[in-house]
C-alpha cells in the first residue's frame, strides 16, 4: 500500500474518536463511528430490554451503512486525494455542521445519531479509498491485527508500527477532547470533530 500524508489521516482518526465520545455521552450510549462496539451495545440493550438504546444503535448502524454506500458510489474508481475524495470529506464536514447546529437547537436524538453515523460512514469509505495501511479510521482493530501479523508472522510489508501508534493516539485524543467538551462546553461538544475534519480537508490540498 502506498503511503499517504499523515496529517489528514490523523485528523480523521481524531474526529472519529471525538464523535464517538460525544454520541456515547450525550445521545444515549450509542456509538456512531465504531460499529463493532455499537453492535455489542445493541446486544446489551436487547438483553436488558432497554429498547430506546437499541433503537439508537439500529439507527446508527443503518445510517453508517448508508453513508458508507453513498461515499463508495460517489468515489467509485478513485484512489488517493482526488477531487471526488475531497468532495466526500467536504460533505462529511457539512454533515458535522448539521450535527453541531442540530445539537445546539435540541434536534431529535435519533436525527442527530443518524447524521453523525452517516458522516462517519462517509469517512470510513474515504479512508478506504486512500489505501492507507489502517484501511479505515473508524475500524482500528483490523489495523492492529494486520500490523502485528506483518511483524510477528510473515515479516513482510513496511514497518507501520509508528503510524499505527500515531493513529491510536489520535483516536484516543479525540475521545478525550470530545469528553472534555461534553463536560465543560456541552453545546460545542461536536465542534472538535468538525474542526478535525476541516483540518484534514485543508491538509489534503497538499497531498
DSSP result, 24-74: HHHTTS--SS-HHHHHHHHHHHHHTT-HHHHHHHHHHHHHHHHHHHHHHHH
How much is the average pLDDT of 32-38?
90
- Nearest residue to 33 (alpha-carbon basis) of 12, 48, 49, 52: 12
The pLDDT, as a whole number, for residue 3 is: 45
Instruction: Give pLDDT, residue 191.
Output: 98
Distance, CA of 201 to CA of 207 (rounded, Å): 10
Give the integer Cα–Cα distance in Å for 58 and 169: 28
The answer to whether the beta carbons of residues 174 and 12 sit under 8 Å apart is no
**pLDDT at residue 151 is higher than 90:** no
| Residue 166 pLDDT | 84
Compare 171 and 163 and report the one with higher pLDDT.
171
Residue 89: the pLDDT is 98
- pLDDT value of residue 52: 75
Of 72, 70, 67, the C-alpha closest to 117 is: 67
- Indicate the range of 36-50, 63-77, 186-200 predicted with least confidence: 36-50
Mean pLDDT along residues 104-133: 92
pLDDT value at 67 more than 80: yes
The pLDDT value recorded for residue 176 is 98
Average of pLDDT values for 40-60? Answer: 88
pLDDT for position 18? 97
Answer with the residue of higher pLDDT: 32 or 140: 32
Query: Hey, what's the cell of 151?
Result: 511483524
Judge whether residue 13 has pLDDT over 50: yes
Query: How is residue 5 written as a grid cell?
Result: 500524508
Mean pLDDT of 168-182: 95
Nearest CA among 164, 207, 192, 190 for reference residue 24? 190
In this prediction the pTM is 0.90
Predicted confidence (pLDDT) per residue in 80-93, tens digit: 899 999 999 999 99
Amino acid at each position: 500500500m502506498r503511503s499517504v500524508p499523515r496529517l489528514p489521516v490523523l485528523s480523521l482518526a481524531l474526529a472519529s474518536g471525538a464523535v464517538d465520545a460525544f454520541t456515547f455521552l450525550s445521545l444515549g450510549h450509542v456509538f456512531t463511528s465504531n460499529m463493532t462496539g455499537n453492535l455489542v451495545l445493541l446486544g446489551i440493550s436487547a438483553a436488558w430490554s432497554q429498547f430506546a438504546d437499541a433503537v439508537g444503535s439500529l439507527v446508527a448502524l443503518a445510517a453508517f451503512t448508508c453513508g458508507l454506500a453513498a461515499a463508495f458510489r460517489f468515489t467509485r474508481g478513485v484512489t488517493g486525494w482526488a477531487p471526488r475524495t475531497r468532495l466526500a470529506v467536504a460533505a462529511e464536514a457539512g454533515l458535522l455542521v448539521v450535527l453541531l447546529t442540530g445539537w445546539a437547537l435540541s434536534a431529535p436524538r435519533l436525527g442527530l445519531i443518524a447524521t453523525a453515523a452517516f458522516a462517519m460512514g462517509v469517512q470510513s469509505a474515504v479512508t478506504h479509498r486512500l489505501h492507507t495501511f489502517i484501511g479505515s479510521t473508524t475500524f482500528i482493530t483490523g489495523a492492529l491485527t494486520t500490523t502485528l501479523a506483518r511483524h510477528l508472522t510473515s515479516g513482510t510489508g513496511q514497518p507501520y508500527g509508528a503510524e499505527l501508534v500515531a493513529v491510536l493516539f489520535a483516536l484516543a485524543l479525540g475521545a478525550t477532547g470530545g469528553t472534555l467538551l461534553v463536560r465543560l462546553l456541552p453545546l460545542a461538544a461536536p465542534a472538535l470533530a468538525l474542526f478535525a475534519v476541516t483540518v484534514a480537508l485543508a491538509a489534503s490540498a497538499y497531498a
